[in-house]
Every structure is written in structure tokens, then in C-alpha cells.
Structure 1
Amino acid sequence: MTATTQPQKATLYRMVMDKHVCPYGLKAKDLLRRKGFKVEDNWLTTEEQTDNFKSEHGVKTTPQIFIDGVRVGGYDDLRRRFGLTVADPKATTYRPVLALFCMTALMALAVSYAVFENPFTSRAAEWFVAFSMAALALLKLQNVESFATMFLNYDLLARRWVPYSYIYPFAEGLAGVMMIAGALNWFSIPVALFIGTVGAVSVVKAVYIDRRDLKCACVGGASNVPLGFVSLTENLLMIGMGVWMALSTSSHAAAP
């Protein structure tokens, strides 16, 4: 007869108040259960109760997890105990840009399929660049002041004329929207070519000539994306889009 294995027990203390339920407490509870622990879930329902708990155990934060009567710590400490990674908020990462480009590519394919019943069209490529421009502008526009501050670290035109750092996200966004619609090419093409060229030259000088280690403002002023290949790609895509649309407009105009 096989003896049944009893699940390990863990004790969790977390804030559960009328106006606040600690998200890390919920994460800790979920992680413990997924790892096979039976969780004794203790709620700290008032500020006074929470402060008393912190004072009693000599800790500064909640939640707190105990396994076999030994304090493990908070949610990050629990992840480390299980050999899981803990995100470093200051670490540089390309994930925001990769996620954005993946979504805008899928959007472009979806729209192409909806319009032409074929996701793989030349228009899909145009929409990908235009959607990316609009999405990148949206991220910058969430906090224009923060974007401008980071942008001034490397953009050559903005450092000579500061207002350009505030104009840039609006210009990028409007050009992207016009390119999505295929309208007002007389506006969108020159804007894309101009800001793309200035941006590309600025990145090349800052990163590949001056060898400066900077963060890219391409996804907003709070990003940890390193300045370099990704930002250069953004600018080259805008230049390429501008050239492509200029040639397309010329060919259409020349057609009888």
C-alpha cells in the first residue's frame, strides 16, 4: 500500500484591505500553490495590523512567506528560493521594442487579410512600418517631458533646437497615421524622411562614433532599451518607408 505524500505547508502574510489588496501577495499565494504547497493565508486587514507585523518580524515590506517555520522573505525571495528569475527594473532590455514590432507586424498582416484576403502583400509591409511609427509615437506621448529629456542626450537637432524634442513624437505619430490611411503624402513622406534621417545620423554619431552608452528614447522616456541597433532600425524604417512611398507616388503620377 502506497503512502500518500502530504503537501508541504507554507504560511503567508499579506495585505488585504478594503481599498488595497497586495498584488505581490496574490502572486506569492499562486506560486506556492503551483509548487505544491498548502498555504496558510493570513490577511493583514488594517494599517495598524500591518505595521505591528512588520515591527514584530523586523521586516519593511509585505507579503512575507514562511516555510517550515523559517522566514523566506517577500515575493522576489520566494522566486529565488525556487530558482526562478527576478526582474531587475534597471536592467537594459529589448523586450518592449520586440513586443511592439511583433504586434504591429501581426496587425499589418491582419489588416491586409481583411482588405485583400491575403496577409502577405506590399501594403502589409507599408502598414507594418506605419503602425510601428504610430505605436512608438504613442509610447513617447504618454510622457512627452520624459521623452524630451532622454532624447536631448543624443539627437543632434534637438540639442541645437530644444523644441524639436517636443515636436518629434507628434510629427512621428501624424506621419504614421497618414501613411496608414495613404493620405496627405505631401506631408507624411517629407516628415518621415526628415526625422528618420536626423535620427539615424544622431544614433550613428552617438553610438558608433562617440561610443556613448545611452538609453534609447524610442519607446518613451522611462525605457531601459539601449541606444543602438533598435533605434537605428526605427529610423531606417522611416527613411525606407518615405523613399518607397515617394517612388510609388511618382509612379502613380507618371502612369497615363
Structure 2
Amino acid sequence: MSAPDKTATLYRMVMEKHTCPYGLKAKDLLQRRGYRVDDHWLKTRDETDAFKAEHTVKTTPQIFIDNERIGGYDDLRRWFGQTVRDPKTPTYQPVIAVFAVTALLALAVSYAALGTPFTLRAAEWFISFSMVVLAILKLQNVETFSTMFLNYDLLAKRWVRYGYIYPFAEAGAGLLMAAHALNWLSIPLALFIGLIGAVSVFKAVYIDKRELKCACVGGDSHVPLGFVSLTENLMMVAMAIWMLIMN
């Protein structure tokens, strides 16, 4: 069947105050796969409910190809052989995104300030920027972060308030290190939280063999506690030792 002959029928919600984002994604995917889309708008709640009852479905959008109901957007992706990630599946993507962007940011700042991206300051900025960004993710919901943190951090288990203090301490140390300001405060602070974090992660993962989620990118993440979590803390320790030597 040639591309112009491929037709799909799409039913999606397009209301005055709501346009279904998955309906738009389904339409875009179909068009990118060469389908002409017969696009039907469900403009009211009553119209949507009637459609669901008629086809015995619980959600919209719904896609039909060759008179066969494919299902919703995720079903369409599967039909095309694309993966659909389970939101509860462990993934390192959040941490990879943070480290990749902060590395590029450090190179950009180094180039702007020093005329070349490849400098020792770029390496310092990479670690300090990473600390700040990771702290921002934790600060989005300190309550949730502190709860997850209690699962493995040794100090937080003894002093619960430490879980609330940690994101602010990490952000403060990262900002001061980026500016090379108040080294008498930033160095011991980073060394303290980094060492406790490293020991806590090492004990939980490599000694107790526990399978936990890391709170490193906030309390709602599905990043596995392990090597990456340990790396975050070791980076802080390394940065503190480096600045102590240099100063």
C-alpha cells in the first residue's frame, strides 16, 4: 500500500479548555509514518463519554487502522514496534541528563571566561554546577526527598532533620565552590556531606546488598541507588580535597 493510501482514523479530545496532548502525539506519529489522518474531535465531555461507551474503552485518544482498533497512544507506539517505557522502571536517564548538561555548561562558561573550554576551572565548574543542579532537583520537593533519603543515609536515620538540611547544604557548597568564595565554609561542608553520603551508599548497596531508589535527583525519581549515587558523593569529596590543596 503506497503512503498516500494509508489512512488512520483518530478520535481525540479537543475542547475549549482542554486539548489532549496524547491525541496530538498520536496524530504526529501517524503522519510521520505516512498516514493520512481522519481526525475526529470530541468537543464535549458528553460526546467523549458517549464515544467511550460505544467502543467500550476507558480512555482517549483511540486510533483505528484498516477498521481495526489499535488503542491509545502507547498502543500505537507498540503497534509500530516502538518501546513504551514503564514510568516505574529504574533508569539512569535523569542523572545522565544532569551530568551531560552541566559538563557542557562548564565548558561554555570556561570558553566565555577564559577563551578555551578545556581548563581546570571547567572541571571545577562541572562538579560545582552538578552539585547545584542536583540540589535544585531535591529542593523541588524537600519532603519527598527527605523521606526517600531516610532509606539509606546513615546520619539522616539518626537525625531526621539532616534530610531537610542536605539539599540546602549541597546547593550552598556548590555555589560557593563555583565562585571560589568562603572556602573555609564550602570545603568542609562538601567534605562532610560527601563523605557521609559515600559511606551510606556504599554500605547500603555493596555491604547490605539492598535494592533502593536513589534520592540524588529528588524524591520522585526511579534512579537505582548504586555507582552513580556513589559518584555524586565522591565528586563532592574530590572537589573539596582539590580546593583544599589549591588553597
TM-score, normalising length from structure 2?
0.98
Residue identity opposite 1:56 in structure 2: E
- TM-align CA RMSD: 1.1
Residue identity opposite 2:89 in structure 1: A
Deviation at 1:6, TM superposition (A): 3.9
Deviation at 1:239, TM superposition (A): 0.1
Residue in 1 that maps onto 2:162: 164
1:109 to 107, 111, 130: 107
For residues 5 and 82 of structure 1, do their structure 2 counterparts lie closer, same or farther at Cα, with a shift above 3 Å needed?
closer
Q: Could you tell me whether the CA contact under 8 Å between 1:7 and 1:36 is conserved in 2?
A: no
Residue identity opposite 1:214 in structure 2: L
2:204 to 182, 203, 206: 206
Residue identity opposite 1:168 in structure 2: Y
Deviation at 1:7, TM superposition (A): 2.2
- Give the Cα separation in 1 of the matches to 2:50 and 2:241: 66
Deviation string, structure 1 residues 138-157 (Cα, Å, up to 9, x no partner)? 00000000000000000000
Deviation at 1:163, TM superposition (A): 0.1
- Give the Cα separation in 1 of the matches to 2:104 and 2:61: 39
Structure 2 unaligned regions, length at least 5: none
Deviation at 1:195, TM superposition (A): 0.2
- Give the Cα separation in 1 of the matches to 2:4 and 2:49: 34
- Give runs of aligned pairs for residues 1-256 of structure 1, distance below 5 A: 6-249=4-247
Q: Could you tell me whether the CA contact under 8 Å between 1:151 and 1:217 is conserved in 2?
A: yes
TM-score, normalising length from structure 1?
0.95
Deviation string, structure 1 residues 168-218 (Cα, Å, up to 9, x no partner)? 000000110111111011111011000000000000100000000000000
Residue identity opposite 2:28 in structure 1: D
Deviation string, structure 1 residues 10-65 (Cα, Å, up to 9, x no partner)? 10000001111000000000011111111000000111111111011000000000
For residues 6 and 107 of structure 1, do their structure 2 counterparts lie closer, same or farther at Cα, with a shift above 3 Å needed?
closer
- Give the Cα separation in 2 of the matches to 1:86 and 1:200: 34
Which structure has the bigger radius of gyration?
1
Structure 1 unaligned regions, length at least 5: 250-256
Q: Could you tell me whether the CA contact under 8 Å between 2:3 and 2:35 is conserved in 1?
A: no
Q: Secondary structure at the match of 2:37?
A: strand
- Give the Cα separation in 1 of the matches to 2:217 and 2:135: 8
Aligned length: 247
Deviation at 1:4, TM superposition (A): 7.0
